[in-house]
Amino acid sequence: MSRASSSAHFLHSDMDVIPFPKFATNAIHIGNEPERNGASHDLVTPISLAVTFGQIEPGVFKVHDYARGGNPTRDSVERSLAAAENAAHTVTFSSGTGALSAIMQLIGSGDEVVSMASLYGGTYTYFDNIATKNGIRIVYLDVTDADKLHHALSRNTRMVYLESPVNPSMRVIDIEAVVRSVKGYNKDIITVLDNSFTTPYFLRPLDLGVDISYQSVSKYMGGHADVMMGSASVNSEDLANRLKYLQNNMGAIPSPFDCYLILRSLKTLHIRMREHMKNGLLVAKFLERHPCVEKVNHPGLPSHPNYELFKKQSRGCSGIFSFYLSGGKTELFKFFRHLKIFTVAASFGGCESVCSFPTVMSHKGVQPKVLQAAGVTDNLARLSIGLEDVEDLMEDLDQALWSSGARKGYQQQQQQTSPTSTDSRRDRRGSQKIKIVNTQATQTGVAEVETPRFARRY
Ligand SMILES: *Cc1c(COP(=O)(O)O)cnc(C)c1O
């Protein structure tokens, strides 16, 4: 056996993702059975376009009366999503933000939400400009600080809204611990976790005691960057009924075609997530050793401060992480300009690798103090590693890094001296360039990567 093929084998056997029992079988079958048992035994769920449904007699209907309230294709995708989340009910919306709007209608004027100092940009916007207009008060804090959290909870707190890992620093919160302390204070406080980064393939929020698992289905769940959808998954009958009422009466429903596409996407979620994880870890490890990179933030690497917690809490990690370039804004712009396979774009979770610049994209307009606390600086890039051949991704990043003008020790030099002229790029290329081509990549990059071992069960 050649060295390359034995390291590939080693890699696969060491990936050690232990999935939730029946995850794939459920994703492929749940939601599709009614059609198989129906008149024509369709193997896959048909797209039901009807806006209205004939009633047996006025006021008496079979399942649905009007498609805003529900239709057969949406029923299928909601059942499939609920199975993935291990939830009793999932309610879908026309985007993640549509789901968030409905979730925020569960509370009202005078109520308080305790949330985190760093959040998805759109969630911030919603909280600051829309929720506050509706009389809801939002408290932002570091929820991992037990004292601060306890201090922030009050009689008016009706919701605790969490996101983990935190975008883009990738800090991880101990979900069970936070939920336990919130529920210990008042069991009626609704806990919400935005699980878009990790997906239920690796982490199931409801199993950790969270009340609402919120997904931007537009990301990994859809997985092909071609559908927008959001979901809220719950075990409580009361929350399910209220969210279904809001879905119908606020009207931000997903289209039947989008429901069909997501049903299709969910059947390959397990395969895609394993590959995103593998590629992501390999690229992160590669960047960690790269002379033009100052630091990598990836919760699946031992260098991450929350590595142990992350391994205990999750069954694996997705393909998102961030890194600090050994350079400044100018170098980072240059890096982006030289990328050939990576697309500079917002969002994540598709087959295509994308790269973003938080301070000028997702976090533009966030106060400098907040940015600093969240570790979002002008040399931070966020990557969403796709499903391309990992050697090609490493090679693309490698050439763009060397072309960026970034250099080892840049940060210290900036602090110690005034800006110096760019040193000889050719010298560095010659002496330090990590060669990433074909089997060489397998030997230098792939074989040395240790993958974390994730929890078998919660
Ligand atoms: C994209 C995203 C959302 C919003 O979802 P949309 O489908 O774009 O409305 C919410 N949270 C996170 C973490 C996201 O990445």
196 lines ligand 1 (CB under 6 A): yes
The predicted-structure confidence for 48-101, as pLDDT tens digits, reads as follows 999 999 999 999 999 999 999 999 999 999 999 999 999 999 999 999 999 999
The CB of 356 under 6 Å from ligand 1? The reply is no
Between the CA of 197 and the centroid of ligand 1 the distance, in Å, is 9
SS3 for 14? helix
Sheet holding 212-216, edge to edge: 89-93, 230-234, 212-216, 190-194, 157-163, 112-116, 137-141
Whether 258 lines ligand 1, by a CB cut-off of 6 Å, is no
Could you tell me which residues come within 8 angstroms of residue 392 by beta carbon, excluding any fewer than 6 positions away?
341
Choosing from 79, 171, 219, 285, the catalytic residue is 219
Mutate to test the pocket of ligand 1, among 196, 212, 348, 362 (most ligand atoms within 8 A of CB): 196
Least confident window among 136-140, 254-258, 427-431: 427-431
- Both tokens assigned to 131: 């929720």
Q: Given the CA of residue 163, which atom of ligand 1 is nearest to it? A: 13
Helices (H), 251-306: 256-266, 269-288
Amino acid (1-letter code) at residue 389: D
For atom 4 of ligand 1, the residue with the nearest CA is 96
373 pLDDT exceeds 90? no
CA of 269 to the centre of ligand 1 (A): 18
Mind listing the domains of the chain with CATH numbers?
A: 23-266 (3.40.640.10), 270-447 (3.90.1150.10)
Catalytic residue flag (residue 219)? yes
CB 317 within 8 A of CB 353: no
CA-nearest of 315, 341, 296, 314 to 449 is 296
Closest atom of ligand 1 relative to the 98 alpha carbon:
9
Q: What is the pLDDT of residue 117?
A: 81
Coil, strand, or helix at residue 197? coil
User: For 166-196, how does the pLDDT look when each residue is reduced to its tens digit (9 = 90+)?
Assistant: 888 899 999 999 999 999 999 999 999 999 9
Catalytic: which of 111, 194, 258, 396? 194
The pLDDT value recorded for residue 408 is 81
DSSP-derived letter for residue 96 is: H
Question: How confident is the model at residue 337, as a pLDDT?
Answer: 97
pTM of the model: 0.88
Please give the average per-residue pLDDT across 269-274, as a whole number: 97
Task: Based on the residue annotation, tell me whether 68 is a catalytic residue of this protein.
Answer: yes
Q: Whose CA is nearest to atom 5 of ligand 1?
A: 96
Q: Is residue 3 scored above 50 in pLDDT?
A: no
The alpha carbon of 97 and the centre of ligand 1 are apart by a number of angstroms equal to 6
Residue 194 annotated to the active site: yes
Q: In the predicted model, is pLDDT for residue 1 greater than 80?
A: no
Question: Ligand 1 mean position to 95 CA, how many Å?
Answer: 8
What lies within 8 Å, CB to CB, of 273 at 6+ separation is 17, 199, 201, 202, 220, 316, 318
Whole-angstrom distance, CA of residue 281 vs CA of residue 5: 19
- The answer to whether residues 228 and 258 touch, using CB atoms and an 8 Å cutoff, is yes
**Is residue 178 a contact partner of residue 131, using CB atoms and an 8 Å limit?**
no
